[in-house]
Amino acid sequence: MKCSDISDPQVTSVELDRLADRRLVLLDHEGSYEGVCLWFECQFPGDSPCLSTSPASPRTHWQQTALVLPQVEEVAAFECVAWEVVLERSSDERRHYNIHFSMLDPDKEPHPIPCDCISPRCALIGHVMEEYEKTVGIIE
Ligand SMILES: [Zn+2]
């Protein structure tokens, strides 16, 4: 499962009060869709190394946050999943965030064009683009 990076290294403290991200992710293999993993990366000013809590980075005490879905979904290769994550800074504890996670209908989210997913709409667009390129020329 691909994870999202919703941080911007130039954000201000006020901007950190609320962070939101909406994603459409093309899955590269079939399997069980069980949740989403969140982590942060922080680049401090100067030549400091990046502080990353990514699962692929050396372990820190910060760790990651796993958002586990209420039920497991079996997914196919080249299927899309979509979600929205909103992080709101807690008014009680400024170092804590309340996490709001919503699964979205991937068929109602905009897909890139061309898109390699298995949805009939994207397959049709891909086919039309291929035929156009064969008869008219390359689409830029
Ligand atoms: Zn698509």
Per the domain annotation, does 89 fall within a domain? yes
Its domain, for residue 114, covers: 110-140
Q: Are 81 and 22 within one domain?
A: yes
pLDDT at residue 8 tops 60: no
Model pLDDT for residues 65-88, shown as the tens digit of each residue: 999 999 999 999 999 999 999 999
Predicted TM-score of the model (pTM): 0.77
Measured in angstroms, how far is the CA atom of residue 111 from the centroid of ligand 1? 5
Mean pLDDT for 110-135 is 93
**Percent of all residues in the chain with a pLDDT value above 90, rounded to a whole number:** 65
Q: DSSP code of 55? A: T
Measured in angstroms, how far is the CA atom of residue 119 from the centroid of ligand 1? 6
Instruction: Show Cβ contacts of residue 33 under 8 Å, excluding neighbours closer than 6 positions.
Output: 1, 27, 69, 72, 73, 74, 75, 81
pLDDT at residue 123 tops 90: yes
- Among the residue ranges 10-19, 45-54, 103-112, 127-136, the one predicted with the least confidence is 10-19
Single out the residue of 106, 104, 108, 139 nearest to residue 125, CA to CA: 139
List the beta bridge partners of residue 75: 31
Q: Are 39 and 104 within one domain?
A: yes
Q: Are 71 and 90 within one domain?
A: yes
Distance, CA of 115 to CA of 26 (rounded, Å): 9
pLDDT, position 140: 67
Measured in angstroms, how far is the CA atom of residue 25 from the centroid of ligand 1? 9
